[in-house]
C-alpha cells in the first residue's frame, strides 16, 4: 500500500495541512501536494475505471501525460469533469470524485465489459451497430450514448470568470525546467524581451528529482539562482502555472494560465488565455517516459519509473514497501536508487537488455540491488492492485521463471521528447535509432511570416537526455533565437559531468514472443483501453496507415491524446506490418497540448458580453415601456410595446390601427445613413444603384435598389440629394456597415481614380418616424419648420429646427401613411422622442415596433430585404423593373442580370396572396403543383415570402414568389401545411391597401 514517508518531499510544506474530500471521504494532505500525491499518500491507489472495460486503474504518471487518474472536481457552478489528479494542486476544501463507474469505484457493474473484452475488439462498434437499420435509432444509439464519454457534463452555469491577454514579444520560452531556464538566460542576456512560462507551480522540471549536479551544485540551488537572475532582468517576465498550449502560423501561440484553480473563489479570473505573437518560440518542453507493454501493465500500482521517483522525491510518497523495476534503459535505475535512499525495498531490477554494466547499473549493484539481465515481466499479479510480478525471459514466450511479490512496479520504456509544440505548425521530426524516439529535425523548423524559422527546440524536447548536454543545447538554442533577432550572445552554458549510459534496447512487447493471451492484456492506450492485440487486428484488417489505425482502434484519441501510447502503438503497428517505424510515421500533433477550459476560450464573451448589443438613443425608453425585442444584426429593435394585460399580438394590431387612424411613432435610428460626396459621386451612385441617382434634384428623395455584382438584390433605401455634389444614402438596418464597406471596396479597389468620399453617419442621428394622418399636426405643434402639404411634398427633405432641435426631415413613407422621418443629433434623440410623445398625446400617439412596420409595408405591397429577397432574387422577380434604369450602360449587377438564367420567363415572380378562408398563411409555405419530382417530392410552383394578419383588412395577407405569378391573377393555389392540411390562396395584386396612394398624399 502506498503511504507518506516520515521525511522528505521537496515540494511539500509539512507545516501546512490541507483538507480535501475524495468520493465524499475527508482526507488530508500538505500544501504542495497534487491531488494524485495526496491520494497515494493516503493509500488510495485505485483512482478510476477505464473507459471501455471499466478496469480498475491507478495513477501511472506524475504530470500532464496522466491517462488514468481523471477526476470530477468541484460542484455546482465549479463542477469540472476529466481533470487530471496529477496536475491538480491540492487546496483546502478541494472536492474530487472518481469517474466512469457504477455504483462505486470499488465495485463497478461495468467491469463485466472486461470479461467480455475478447468480444469487444477494435472496430467492434463499427461492425456491430450497423444492422438491422431501424435498431440504430432506438437500440444502438441510446446504448452508445450511455456508454460514451468519461466524466459527467457540468449542469450549472460556470460561476468563474475568464479572460484573454494579448501580447507581442521577442521570445517566448516554453518550459521552466533546466533547459528552459538556461535558454531564457542565454537569450535574455542578448537584451531581447523574454517571456518564460512553466505549466507546473514550480521551476526546475525533473532535474532535482534526477539528482542532477549543475556547476558543481545540487540542481535545486542552480535553479534558484537562475530564477533569481531572470527575475532581476528588466527584459524578462516569468510565469508559473502557464502551459504552452499551441503554436500556430506567423509566431502566434496560445498559453493557458491557470490563475486561480488552486485558490478558487478569490475573485481572480480562473484561467487566462495568453494570445501571444512571438518573433521566436523556444520550446523546452522536456520528454515523457514511455510505458512498457507487458501483460497487466495497467494494474493499479504499475507506474512510470520517473513518476515513482517523483512521488518519492517531490511528495515523500512511497508507492509500496517493495517496488520491482522493469526497464530497457539506464534511467530507471535512478528510481531504484531513490527508493533505496528513502528506505524502501527494490526486490529486483528486471532489465530487458542482455548485458549492462557501469554507471547507474554499477551503483545499483553496489548497494545490493538484484539486477536481472535479459528479463521481463510475463505478467503482473493482482487485479485491483499489484501483488507481484511473474518474471520471464525477454527473448522467450513468457514462461514464468519466478514470481516476485511486490506492491508496485516501476516501468521504463525509454523517453519520448515532447515535440508537440514544435510540430503544431509544421516542424518536422526524425527518428533517432539509438534512443528509439522521434526528435525534432532542426533543419525543418516551423517558419514565420518571413519564411524563416520561428522556433527552436532545446533540451530533452530536442532529444538530449543528459544534464550536461541539455544545458549546452539550451544555451545554443537560446543563442540561435537571439541571432535570428539580430542579436549576438555567447552560448555560455552551465556545466554538468558527463554520464555513462548503456545503450537502450527497443522493447515494444514484453516478452518478445508473447502469445495472444498475453498480448490481449498489454495496454497501449490506458484511457481508451487499446491493447497490443487491437493494433495488430487493425493492421490485419487493412488499416495500415497510422492515421487509419488510430481512428479504428481509438489509440491516442482520449483526452491525453496519446502522450504515453502513440510511440508504443505505432511501433507495434510497424512491427506487425513488417516496416520500420519512421516509414509508418506519426499521427498529427494538434493543439491544445493538454485540454484547456472552454471558459478560457470564450474569455470575457459570455452573458451580457457574449456579443455586442447595439442600442439606439431611445433604447432605455423602449426598455422602460415594455418593448419586446427583435434582434436585427446586432441591434435590438422594439418588436412591439405590449401594455399591461395585452398580448404581443394584440399590441401589434393596436399599433397598426393607431398609426392608420391617428399617429404612430417609430424608432428608425438603426437605418443606415451614408454620405457620399465628390465630383464623381453622382456617377458612382449610378453604378451602385439600379436606377439613376445623378439626376435626382437637390432637396428631393428617391427610392433605390442595390444589387451585387452577380445581379441579386442586396439592399434598398431612400437616397436624398443634399447638395450639388453630396448625396445621403439610407440603407436597411442590417445593411449599413455592409453597404458602406461595399462602397469603399469599389472606390478603393476598382474606381480609385474617382473623386468620391463616403462617411457612415448611421449613429450620428436618432431617426424618428412620425407616421399617420395626424403626423403633420404633431410636428406642427413642435414648430419651427414649414411642412405644409404645399411647401413640403412627398419625397421632399428639408433641414431646420423642430422644437429648437436641429432636424432634417424627410417626407417619405414605408407605411402608405402621411409620414415624416426626422433625423436629430443622437445626443438629443431621446429628448425629441419625448417631445413627440407629448405633442401627440392629444391624438393618442403610440410608438410602434418592427412587426407593425412590417404589416403596414406588406399591406402596401412594399418589399422587405431579407423577406422577399434571399440572395437568389433579382429586382425583376419583384416587379421592380420601374426602378431599373434603361438608360444606363452599366451598373453593378447589370451584366449578371443579362445571363440566360436571370432572363428566363419562368422565374418565380412577386404576387399578393389572399387566403380563401381569411386565415394567415404559414411563413415560407410552398405552393404545390401536380406531380412529383425524382425524389418523390411534390412539384412546387411558388412560396410565401411575407405573411401577416392585417388588422386594417381584418384578414390574412401575404406576398409570395409564384411561377408566372403576375399572369395568373385570380388563380387559386394550394399551400400544404406541416400538419397535413391545405390552405388555399388566391393570387392577387400585392398592393392590398390604398392602391392609389391617397393616404400619403395629403
Residues 674-703 that bind another protein (CB under 8 A): 675, 677-679
Other Cβ atoms closer than 10 A to 373: 15
Least separation in angstroms between residue 877's CB and another protein is 19
Least separation in angstroms between residue 745's CB and another protein is 7
161 near another protein, judged by CB under 8 A: yes
Residues contacting 728, CB < 8 A, separation 6+: 673, 674, 675, 676, 719, 720, 721, 722, 761
Would the CA dihedral through 951, 956, 957, 959 be positive or negative? positive
Q: By CB under 8 A, what part of segment 308-327 binds another protein?
A: none
710 near another protein, judged by CB under 8 A: yes
Exactly one of 443, 889, 930, 979 binds another protein (CB under 8 A); which one?
A: 889
Q: By CB under 8 A, what part of segment 272-311 binds another protein?
A: 272, 275, 277
99 near another protein, judged by CB under 8 A: no
Q: From residue 768, how far is each of 481, 626, 680, 704, 779 by CA, in Å? A: 61, 19, 31, 21, 11
Q: By CB under 8 A, what part of segment 378-407 binds another protein?
A: none
Least separation in angstroms between residue 79's CB and another protein is 22
447 near another protein, judged by CB under 8 A: yes
Least separation in angstroms between residue 78's CB and another protein is 16
For another protein, give the closer residue by CB, 490 or 834.
834
Q: Which residue is it, cell 392540411? A: 981
* Residue 194 C-alpha from the chain's centroid: 28
Binding residues for another protein, total number by CB under 8 A: 79
Reduced to 3 states, what is the DSSP secondary structure of residue 604?
coil
For another protein, give the closer residue by CB, 512 or 764.
764
Count of residues in the chain: 1002
For another protein, give the closer residue by CB, 301 or 603.
603
Q: By CB under 8 A, what part of segment 500-559 binds another protein?
A: none
Could you tell me where the DSSP H helices lie in 283-380? 305-315, 332-341, 359-366
Q: By CB under 8 A, what part of segment 235-254 binds another protein?
A: 237, 248-252
Q: By CB under 8 A, what part of segment 614-633 binds another protein?
A: 614-617
Q: Would you say 559 and 70 are in contact if contact means Cβ atoms under 8 Å apart?
A: yes
Exactly one of 420, 424, 531, 828 binds another protein (CB under 8 A); which one?
A: 828
Question: Which has the closest alpha carbon to 766: 826, 821, 810, 811?
Answer: 826
Angle between helices 775-782 and 829-840 (to 10 degrees): 120
Exactly one of 191, 825, 879, 976 binds another protein (CB under 8 A); which one?
A: 825
Least separation in angstroms between residue 581's CB and another protein is 26
Q: Would you say 467 and 272 are in contact if contact means Cβ atoms under 8 Å apart?
A: no
Q: Which residue is it, cell 545540487? A: 218
The three state secondary structure string of 15-46 is EEEEEEEECCEEEEEEECCEHHHHHHHCCCCE
Q: By CB under 8 A, what part of segment 830-859 binds another protein?
A: 830-831, 834
Least separation in angstroms between residue 710's CB and another protein is 6
User: Which among 197-205, 537-545, 624-632, 829-837 is the span making contact with another protein, rule CB under 8 A?
Assistant: 829-837
Least separation in angstroms between residue 885's CB and another protein is 12
User: Which among 44-52, 55-63, 145-153, 262-270 is the span making contact with another protein, rule CB under 8 A?
Assistant: 262-270
Which backbone phi and psi does 17 adopt, to 5 degrees? -80, 145
Least separation in angstroms between residue 728's CB and another protein is 10
Residues contacting 817, CB < 8 A, separation 6+: 659, 660, 771, 772, 773, 775, 856, 999, 1000
For another protein, give the closer residue by CB, 60 or 254.
254
For another protein, give the closer residue by CB, 437 or 484.
484
Q: Kindly state the DSSP code that residue 139 receives in the 8-state scheme.
A: I
Exactly one of 16, 590, 895, 977 binds another protein (CB under 8 A); which one?
A: 895
Burial class (CB in 10 A: 0-12, 13-18, 19+), 441: middle
Angle between helices 681-688 and 736-749 (to 10 degrees): 120
Q: Would you say 671 and 730 are in contact if contact means Cβ atoms under 8 Å apart?
A: yes
Q: By CB under 8 A, what part of segment 575-604 binds another protein?
A: 603-604
Least separation in angstroms between residue 759's CB and another protein is 5
Q: By CB under 8 A, what part of segment 748-787 binds another protein?
A: 748-750, 752, 755, 757-759, 761-765
Least separation in angstroms between residue 165's CB and another protein is 6
Element (H, E) at 949: strand 938-950
453 near another protein, judged by CB under 8 A: no
User: Which among 135-143, 788-796, 820-828, 953-961 is the span making contact with another protein, rule CB under 8 A?
Assistant: 820-828
User: Which among 165-173, 506-514, 688-696, 933-941 is the span making contact with another protein, rule CB under 8 A?
Assistant: 165-173
For another protein, give the closer residue by CB, 619 or 857.
619
Exactly one of 262, 268, 487, 907 binds another protein (CB under 8 A); which one?
A: 268
Cell numbers that stand for 814 in this block: 414605408
Q: Would you say 396 and 568 are in contact if contact means Cβ atoms under 8 Å apart?
A: no
Q: By CB under 8 A, what part of segment 14-43 binds another protein?
A: none
Exactly one of 578, 611, 935, 981 binds another protein (CB under 8 A); which one?
A: 611
Q: Would you say 406 and 413 are in contact if contact means Cβ atoms under 8 Å apart?
A: no
Q: Which residue is it, cell 410608438? A: 847
872 near another protein, judged by CB under 8 A: no
Reduced to 3 states, what is the DSSP secondary structure of residue 636?
strand
Q: Kindly state the DSSP code that residue 158 receives in the 8-state scheme.
A: P
126 near another protein, judged by CB under 8 A: no
Exactly one of 121, 123, 154, 426 binds another protein (CB under 8 A); which one?
A: 426
Question: Which has the closest alpha carbon to 778: 754, 743, 803?
Answer: 803
Least separation in angstroms between residue 897's CB and another protein is 9
Amino acid at each position: 500500500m502506498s503511504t507518506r514517508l516520515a521525511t522528505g518531499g521537496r515540494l511539500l510544506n509539512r507545516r501546512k495541512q490541507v483538507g480535501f474530500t475524495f468520493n465524499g471521504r475527508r482526507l488530508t494532505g500538505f500544501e504542495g501536494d497534487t491531488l494524485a500525491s495526496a491520494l497515494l499518500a493516503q493509500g488510495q491507489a485505485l483512482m478510476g475505471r477505464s473507459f471501455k472495460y471499466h478496469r480498475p486503474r491507478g495513477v501511472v504518471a506524475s504530470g500532464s501525460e496522466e491517462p488514468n487518474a481523471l477526476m470530477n472536481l468541484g460542484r455546482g457552478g465549479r463542477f469540472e469533469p476529466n481533470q487530471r489528479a496529477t496536475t491538480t494542486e491540492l487546496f483546502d476544501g478541494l472536492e474530487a470524485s472518481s469517474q466512469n463507474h457504477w455504483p462505486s469505484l470499488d465495485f463497478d457493474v461495468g467491469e463485466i465489459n472486461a470479461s467480455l473484452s475478447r468480444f469487444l475488439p477494435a472496430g467492434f462498434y463499427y461492425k456491430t451497430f450497423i444492422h438491422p437499420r431501424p435498431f440504430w435509432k432506438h437500440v444502438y444509439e441510446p446504448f452508445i450514448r450511455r456508454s460514451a464519454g468519461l466524466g459527467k457534463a457540468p449542469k450549472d452555469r460556470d460561476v468563474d470568470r475568464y479572460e484573454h491577454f494579448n501580447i507581442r514579444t521577442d521570445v517566448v520560452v516554453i518550459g521552466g525546467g533546466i533547459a528552459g531556464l538556461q535558454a531564457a538566460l542565454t537569450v535574455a542576456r542578448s537584451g531581447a524581451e523574454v517571456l518564460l512560462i512553466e505549466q507546473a507551480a514550480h521551476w526546475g522540471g525533473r532535474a532535482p528529482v534526477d539528482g542532477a549536479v549543475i556547476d558543481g551544485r545540487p540542481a535545486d540551488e542552480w535553479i534558484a539562482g537562475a530564477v533569481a537572475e531572470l527575475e532581476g532582468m528588466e527584459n524578462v517576465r516569468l510565469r508559473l502555472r502557464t502551459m504552452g498550449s499551441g503554436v500556430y502560423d506567423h509566431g502566434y501561440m496560445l498559453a493557458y494560465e491557470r490563475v486561480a484553480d488552486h485558490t478558487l473563489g478569490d475573485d481572480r479570473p480562473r484561467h487566462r488565455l495568453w494570445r501571444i505573437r512571438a518573433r521566436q518560440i523556444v520550446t523546452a518542453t522536456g520528454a515523457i517516459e514511455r510505458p512498457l507493454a507487458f501483460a497487466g501493465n495497467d494494474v493499479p500500482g504499475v507506474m512510470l519509473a520517473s513518476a515513482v521517483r517523483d512521488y518519492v522525491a517531490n511528495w515523500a510518497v512511497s508507492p509500496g514497501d517493495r517496488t520491482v523495476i522493469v526497464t530497457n534503459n539506464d534511467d530507471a535505475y535512478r528510481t531504484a536508487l531513490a527508493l533505496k535512499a528513502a528506505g524502501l525495498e527494490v526486490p529486483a531490477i528486471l532489465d530487458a537488455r542482455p548485458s549492462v554494466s557501469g554507471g547507474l547499473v554499477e551503483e545499483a549493484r553496489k548497494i545490493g540491488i538484484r539486477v536481472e539481465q535479459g528479463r521481463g515481466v510475463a505478467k503482473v499479479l493482482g487485479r485491483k492492485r499489484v501483488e507481484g510480478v511473474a518474471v520471464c525471459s525477454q527473448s522467450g514466450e513468457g514462461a514464468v521463471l519466478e514470481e516476485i511479490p511486490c506492491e508496485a512496479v516501476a516501468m521504463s520504456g525509454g523517453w519520448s521528447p515532447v515535440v508537440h509544440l514544435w510540430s503544431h505548425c509544421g516542424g518536422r521530426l526524425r527518428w533517432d535509432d539509438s534512443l528509439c524516439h522521434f526528435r525534432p529535425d532542426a533543419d525543418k523548423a516551423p517558419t514565420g511570416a518571413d519564411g524563416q524559422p520561428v522556433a527552436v527546440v532545446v533540451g530533452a524536447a530536442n532529444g538530449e537526455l543528459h544534464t550536461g548536454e541539455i544545458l549546452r543545447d539550451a544555451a545554443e538554442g537560446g543563442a540561435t533565437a537571439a541571432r535570428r533577432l539580430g542579436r549576438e550572445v555567447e552560448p555560455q552554458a552551465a556545466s554538468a559531468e558527463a554520464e555513462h549510459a548503456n545503450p537502450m534496447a527497443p522493447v515494444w512487447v514484453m516478452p518478445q514472443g508473447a502469445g495472444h493471451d498475453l498480448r490481449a492484456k498489454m495496454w497501449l492506450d490506458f484511457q481508451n483501453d487499446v491493447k497490443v492485440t487491437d493494433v495488430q487486428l487493425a493492421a490485419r484488417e487493412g488499416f495500415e496507415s497510422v492515421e487509419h489505425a488510430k481512428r479504428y482502434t481509438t489509440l491516442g484519441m482520449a483526452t491525453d491524446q496519446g502522450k504515453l501510447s502513440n510511440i508504443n502503438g505505432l511501433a507495434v503497428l510497424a512491427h506487425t506490418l513488417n516496416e520500420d517505424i519512421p516509414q509508418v510515421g506519426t499521427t498529427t500533433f494538434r493543439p491544445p497540448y493538454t485540454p484547456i477550459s472552454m471558459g478560457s476560450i470564450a474569455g470575457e464573451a459570455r452573458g451580457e458580453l457574449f456579443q455586442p448589443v447595439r442600442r439606439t438613443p431611445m433604447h432605455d425608453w423602449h426598455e422602460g415601456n415594455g418593448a419586446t425585442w427583435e434582434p436585427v444584426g446586432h441591434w435590438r429593435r422594439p418588436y412591439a410595446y405590449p401594455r399591461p394585460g395585452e398580448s404581443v399580438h394584440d399590441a401589434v394590431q393596436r399599433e397598426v390601427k393607431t398609426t392608420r387612424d391617428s399617429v404612430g411613432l417609430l424608432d428608425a435610428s438603426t437605418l443606415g445613413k451614408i454620405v457620399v460626396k465628390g465630383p464623381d459621386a453622382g456617377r458612382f451612385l449610378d453604378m451602385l444603384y439600379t436606377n439613376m441617382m445623378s439626376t435626382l434634384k437637390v432637396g428631393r428623395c428617391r427610392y433605390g435598389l442595390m444589387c451585387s455584382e452577380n445581379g441579386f438584390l442586396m439592399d434598398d433605401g431612400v437616397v436624398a440629394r443634399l447638395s450639388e455634389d453630396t448625396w445621403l444614402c439610407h440603407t436597411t438596418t442590417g445593411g449599413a456597415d455592409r453597404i458602406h464597406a461595399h462602397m469603399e471596396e469599389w472606390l478603393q479597389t476598382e474606381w480609385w481614380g474617382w473623386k468620391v468620399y463616403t462617411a457612415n453617419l448611421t449613429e450620428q442621428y436618432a431617426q424618428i418616424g412620425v407616421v399617420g394622418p395626424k403626423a403633420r399636426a404633431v410636428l406642427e405643434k413642435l414648430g419651427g419648420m414649414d411642412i405644409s402639404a404645399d411647401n413640403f411634398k412627398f419625397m421632399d427633405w428639408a433641414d431646420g429646427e423642430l422644437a429648437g432641435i436641429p432636424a432634417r426631415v424627410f417626407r417619405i413613407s414605408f407605411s402608405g401613411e402621411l409620414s415624416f422621418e426626422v433625423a436629430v443629433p443622437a445626443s438629443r434623440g431621446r429628448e425629441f422622442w419625448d417631445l413627440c410623445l407629448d405633442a401627440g398625446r392629444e391624438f393618442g400617439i403610440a410608438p410602434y415596433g418592427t412587426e407593425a412596420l412590417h404589416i403596414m409595408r406588406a399591406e402596401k405591397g412594399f418589399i422587405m430585404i431579407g423577406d422577399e429577397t434571399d440572395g437568389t432574387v433579382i429586382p425583376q422577380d419583384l416587379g421592380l423593373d420601374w426602378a431599373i434604369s434603361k438608360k444606363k450602360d452599366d451598373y453593378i449587377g447589370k451584366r449578371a442580370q443579362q445571363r440566360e438564367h436571370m432572363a428566363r420567363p419562368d422565374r418565380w415572380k412577386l404576387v399578393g396572396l389572399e387566403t380563401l378562408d381569411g386565415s394567415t398563411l404559414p411563413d415560407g409555405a410552398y405552393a404545390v403543383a401536380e406531380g412529383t419530382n425524382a425524389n418523390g417530392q411534390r412539384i412546387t410552383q411558388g412560396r410565401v415570402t411575407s405573411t401577416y394578419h392585417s388588422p386594417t383588412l381584418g384578414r390574412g395577407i401575404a406576398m409570395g414568389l409564384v411561377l408566372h405569378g403576375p399572369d395568373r391573377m385570380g388563380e387559386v393555389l394550394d399551400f400544404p401545411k406541416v400538419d397535413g392540411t391545405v390552405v388555399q390562396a388566391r393570387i392577387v395584386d400585392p398592393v392590398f391597401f390604398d392602391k392609389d396612394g391617397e393616404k400619403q398624399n395629403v
